[in-house]
Amino acid sequence: MTSRFDMRPGEERLQSALQDNAQITFIGHIESPWQLENCPKNLRQAREREGGNAVLHIAPEFCPGLEGIEPGDALVLLYWMSKAPRDLIRQVPRHRESGTGTFNLRSPARPNPIGMGVVKVLEIDTKAGTVRIDAIDAIDGTPLVDIKPYMPLADTVPTD
């Protein structure tokens, strides 16, 4: 059986070693129903699958940062896709006939495997540090990097 991240014809790997030049502190992790082999490719697919809810578990020292978040709020999550390869710079996705640059894809395979999703808060317990969300396209145990509020007036594509 081939791995989800085996090289395909037309793909390229970075020739130089990646350098660590920043430090990220994980604020918690994501509890999801997904494993690497069955994880949805995006949030639309995750929402279409039954039982796709997930829970954010926030480390105790970061729980005060949840203040003000309410059920029904939309959040932007940033998460570290720790199982993804970090050396693919050109990829050939299964759904395309030809390859393209990594930065033209939402693939988890990238130099800094940061995932992003806009989710809806279903329940929150700020003392316990848990936030139940409507769906996620991340495998169980994925480290959580950051949470930001979704702001419809700011988070839009310019029309000009």
Question: What is the reported pLDDT for 4?
Answer: 61
Q: Which two tokens stand for residue 43?
A: 């949030």
Give me the pLDDT at residue 23, please: 84
pLDDT at 113: 95
Helix (H, G, I), strand (E, B) or coil at 157: coil
Each residue of 135-145: b (16+ CB within 10 Å) or e?
Answer: bbbbbeebbbb
The pTM score is 0.86
pLDDT reported for residue 129: 98
76 vs 90: CA distance, rounded Å: 27
Mark 3-20 as b/e (b = at least 16 C-beta within 10 Å). Answer: eebeeeeebeeeeeeeee
Q: Which CATH number fits domain 24-83+116-149: 1.10.3470.10, 3.40.350.10, 3.30.565.10, 2.40.30.70?
A: 2.40.30.70
Tell me what pLDDT residue 27 has: 96
Could you tell me the two tokens for 57?
A: 């578990």
Q: Domain segments of the chain: what residues?
A: 24-83+116-149
Tokens encoding 55:
């829970």
Mean pLDDT by 10 residues, the chain (160 residues): 69 69 90 94 90 91 96 98 92 87 92 95 97 96 98 86
Q: How far apart are CA 160 and CA 150, in angstroms?
A: 22
Q: Which residues of 62-83 are buried (b: 16+ CB within 10 A; e: fewer)?
A: bbeebeeeeeeeebebebbbeb
> What's the CA dihedral at 5, 117, 58, 154 to 10 degrees?
140
